[in-house]
Amino acid sequence: MTKPTILVTGATGKTGGAVVTQLLAKGFPVRALVRTLDGRAEVLRRAGAELAVADLFDPDQLLDALRGTQRAYYMAPYHPHTLQSAVAFAVSARQAGLESIAQMSQWTSHRNHPVNLTRQIWLMDHLFADLPGIAHTILNPGMFADNFLRTIDFAALLGIYPVLSGDAKAAPVSNEDIARAAVAVLVDPDRHAGKTYRPTGPELLSANQMAAVVANVVGHRVIPVPLPYSLFTKVARQQGVDPLMASVFLRYVGGDMKAGVFEFEGGVTDVLECLTGEPGESFETTTHRYSALPFARQTAANRVKAFGKFMATPFLPGYNLDRLDRHWEMPVPPDPSLGIDDPRWRDEHRVMMTQPSVLAQQAG
């Protein structure tokens, strides 16, 4: 029996690339949507994926890319007008006769959130859910482990672990595990239609606990160091983090995480085990993978490079996120609130925390 062709957006990204790899390993034909035919795209082609070059904001190009596919993984681009991309994708998906969409969302998705991107993703959730004739499933992960390991080189080489979240906790989930959840949905979309799943790591950890895990992995003492707002914007710019991503992440940590959003109702789910038969990997396992990356290996050359970056950080320009918000002309809700302060958000997300257990009962 011929397996359906699956389109993957964000295919050169961290979750999209993992979705492509895992689908190919299961024998599914994959069409990887890319912006340009660069080296990352070539890696996907060599792995067996068909490449489709398209602008996520162009309905004509999206329609061409979607024709002949039956299912799709949609990852919204980090962009001030990301909702326009979702609308273009939704219109094109209907015209192409797409059967199902597995959509990446945010745990903080909320209609009145202070962050415009997060409000747009809430609208996106409802836009895709209302598409007639297309099975739709939302993946609603919490904090990615990747967010806590961006400065693994400072920890491995200098013994410093920057902290932006105070004593707040999260259950970091790896890119690969998020992809496993997406693949499980894409393989059997009808079973998961209309559901929202929150894949998480196996345990809640504070930044100090994460620093202890990192220390164990790299084999020496690692000191957690609180990172003030001004230095965060400098580090983000130094690492080439997209300014919109920096803006969203800062508000995650500064607002949502400290408010306990990622600890809500225990903060840990059995989604991954219910969907895939395997629990989520530990933060330690993910850290081992990151510490083995070339830039984090404990060599003399890397240590000199990391020390130079660290010493230069205070003198580098940072992002002026408030000015960027004004430049992007971000709309401001009349009564902004974090999701955890909103009764409707709490009710909806409480149901999401029990969803995987219900799925397990149905399977039994």
DSSP, res 341: G
Query: Are 35 and 55 within 8 A, CB to CB?
Result: yes
The answer to whether position 360 is within a domain reads no
Residues whose CB falls within 8 Å of the CB of residue 200, separated by 6 or more in sequence, listed in order: 141, 142, 171, 173, 267, 268, 269, 271, 272, 280
pLDDT at position 242 is: 83
pLDDT of residue 232: 79
Encode 141-208 in three state secondary structure: CCCEHHHHCCCHHHHHHHCEEEECCCCCEECCECHHHHHHHHHHHHHCHHHHCCCEECCCCCCCEEHH
Note the pLDDT of residue 124. 97
Structural domain tally of the chain? 2
Same domain, 75 and 111: yes
Instruction: Name the packing angle between helices 207-218 and 283-291 (round to 10°).
Output: 50
SS (H, E, C) 69-120: CCEEEECCCCCCCHHHHHHHHHHHHHHHCCCEEEEECCCCCCCCCCCHHHHH
CB 44 within 8 A of CB 51: yes
Type and span of the H or E element at 352? helix 343-363
| Domain assignment of residue 54, yes or no | yes
Query: Element (H or E) spanning 137, and its range?
Result: strand 135-139
Q: Are residues 210 and 81 in the same domain?
A: no
| Inter-residue contact 218 to 298 (CB < 8 Å) | yes
What the block records as the tokens of 303 is 């240590």
Instruction: Provide the residue range defining the domain that includes 205.
Output: 145-171+201-262+281-341
* CA dihedral sign of residues 304, 307, 247, 226: positive
Q: Tell me, yes or no, whether 110 and 240 share the same domain.
A: no
351 lies in a domain? Answer: no
What is the tens place of the pLDDT at every residue in 263-305? 999 999 999 999 999 999 999 999 999 999 999 999 999 999 9
One domain for residues 134 and 49: yes
Give 355's pLDDT tier (boundaries 50, 70, 90). low
Is 238 part of any domain? yes
Residues 104 and 208 in one domain: no
Same domain, 184 and 285: no
pLDDT tens figures, 129-175: 999 999 999 999 989 999 899 889 999 999 999 888 888 999 999 99
Asked whether residue 241 falls in the same domain as residue 289, the answer is yes
Residues 221 and 135 in one domain: no
Handedness of CA 229, 248, 235, 211 (dihedral sign): positive
**Residue 270 falls inside a structural domain:** no
3-state class percentages of the chain: helix first, strand second, coil last, to nearest 5: 55, 10, 35
Question: Residue 78: CB partners within 8 Å, gap ≥ 6?
Answer: 117, 242, 244, 245, 248
Please check the confidence at residue 254 and state whether its pLDDT lies above 80.
no
The region of weakest confidence among 206-220, 230-244, 280-294, 305-319 is 230-244
In this structure, are 34 and 178 located in the same domain? Answer: yes
Of the pLDDT bands very low, low, confident and very high (cuts 50, 70, 90), residue 356 is low
Alpha carbons 182 and 10: distance in angstroms, whole number: 13
pTM of the model: 0.92
Residues 270, 293: Cα–Cα separation, whole Å: 29
Kindly state whether residue 336 falls inside one of the protein's structural domains: yes
**Residue 273: HSE in the Cβ half-sphere, 13 Å Cα cutoff:** 12
Do 87 and 231 fall within a single domain?
A: no
Local structure of 18: helix, strand or coil: helix
Is residue 272 domain-resident?
Answer: no
In a domain, 132, yes or no: yes
Are 242 and 327 in a shared domain?
Answer: yes
- Please tell me the predicted confidence (pLDDT) of residue 2: 86
Same domain, 83 and 231: no
- Indicate which CATH number applies to the domain containing 132: 3.40.50.720
